[in-house]
Amino acid sequence: MNRVVIVGGGVAGLLSCHLLAAKGVSVVLLESAERVGRESSWAGGGIVSPLYPWRYSAAVTALAHWSQDFYPGFARQLLEDTGVDPEVHVTGLYWLDLDDEAEALAWAARERRPLFSVDIAAAYRDVPVLGGGFGRAVHMPGVANVRNPRLVKALRASLAAMPNVELREHCPVTGFIQENGQIRGVVTAGGEIRADRVVLAAGAWSGELLRTLGLELPVEPVKGQMILYKCAEDFLPSMVLAKGRYAIPRRDGHVLIGSTLEYAGFDKTPTDVALESLKASAEELLPALKDAEVVGHWAGLRPGSPEGIPFIGELPAHPGLWLNCGHFRNGLVLAPASCQLLVDLMLGREPIIDPAPYAPAGRLG
C-alpha cells in the first residue's frame, strides 16, 4: 500500500491521515470546503466522553475508553510539534437530576469507571454558580474537554509539516474510480486522483458519496446548534449537564451551551427559536449567564447513525474502499480509537479492539 486518498477533512479524516503518514504511507487528504475541520469537528463541544455513556452499547464504550486515555499525551505532542495547544481541559462533569441514575451507577461499577453519586451540596460547593432547584448529582471527576477548533488547527499544522502528506482543500469528490471490481481512486472537479486505497471519512456527507456506488449508508445529517458566552476565567470550574443540555468551560472563560438535535437535512442555518431555547437552558443551569453576552451562535451537522456506532473497515463489495464515518454525537471522543482501529486493519496489524461491531459488512442497504 503506497498511496491512500482520504475523503473528508474532519477530525476522523485528519487523524486517520496523521496515523497513516506516521507509518510511512503516502496520503492525499481531500476536503470539499475551503478549509479542513470546519464542519461538525469545529461545531461540537469537545467533551471527551459520550454525554450519557451508560446509554450506549459496548461498541461505543470500547472506542470511548481507549480515546479518553489517548488525548492528553497526543495534545502535548501536537503542542510541541506545532505550537498550537488543543487545550485538553480536565474539569470533571456533573449530571444533575438524572432519570436513570441507577443505570449510570450500575454501568460505572460494571465498567470500573470513576462515576459516583454525590450529595447535591457538594455539587453546589464545587460549582457555586449552579442554578437552584437541583436535587441530585452524579459526578465523574476525570472528564476533560478538548477545544476542538484548536485541535483541528493543530492537526492541520502537523500534517502540513509531513513530507508524505498532501492536503487539498476546496476539492469536492464526486465519485470513485472502479477498475476490475476494485476502487482505485476518486473523481474530483479537477480530475481523477488515483490511489491504492480510499478512505471515506466525510461525516454527514458520506452517504451521499456512497450512493454513487448504489449503496445506502444509514448515515444522515443531524443538526446541532450551540451558543457561546464569554465569562471570567474562573466562572465555571466544571462541566455540568441537566435535561439534555450542557455547559462546557474553556480555559479562557468562554462557556459553551449545547445543543439542539434537529433532523433538517443539510440545512445549517442557526435559528432564533434554538437561540432562545439554548439561552433558557443556559440561564437555568447558570443564572449568572442572564447578564452575559452571547458571543457566538452556530449550527453543525452530526453524522447520525444507528445506535451511534461508526462504520470502520473495508467494504466487501468494493475492495479498496474503506469507511471511517457515522460517529453521530461522539466524533471527537471516538476519533482516536476509530482512526487507530482503521489504520491497524489497513496495515494488517493486531487491532486495538475487536473490529467486528464496526465492520460495514451487513450494515449497509
Instruction: List pLDDT tens digits, range 47-93.
Output: 999 999 999 999 999 999 999 999 999 999 999 999 999 999 999 99
The C-alpha cell at 272 is 432564533
Please say whether the structural domain 93-141+220-304 has been given the CATH code 3.30.9.10. Answer: yes
The CATH class of 3-53+150-219+306-358 is alpha beta
Q: Which stretches of the chain are assigned E, i.e. beta strand?
A: 3-7, 26-30, 89-90, 93-96, 116-118, 137-140, 144-145, 165-168, 173-179, 182-188, 191-194, 197-200, 220-230, 239-242, 245-249, 254-258, 294-304, 311-314, 321-325
- Give yes or no for a contact between 358 and 313, defined as CB atoms under 8 angstroms apart: yes
pLDDT in tens, 32-51: 999 999 999 999 999 999 99
Mean pLDDT, range 163-172, rounded to an integer: 97
Confidence of residue 362 (pLDDT cuts 50, 70, 90): confident
Cross-strand pairs, 256: 228, 248
- Whether a cis peptide bond, with omega within 30° of 0, leads into 41 is no
Extents of the domains making up the chain: 3-53+150-219+306-358, 93-141+220-304
Its pTM stands at 0.96
> Does residue 112 sit in helix, strand or coil?
coil
| Percentage of residues of the chain with pLDDT beyond 70 | 99
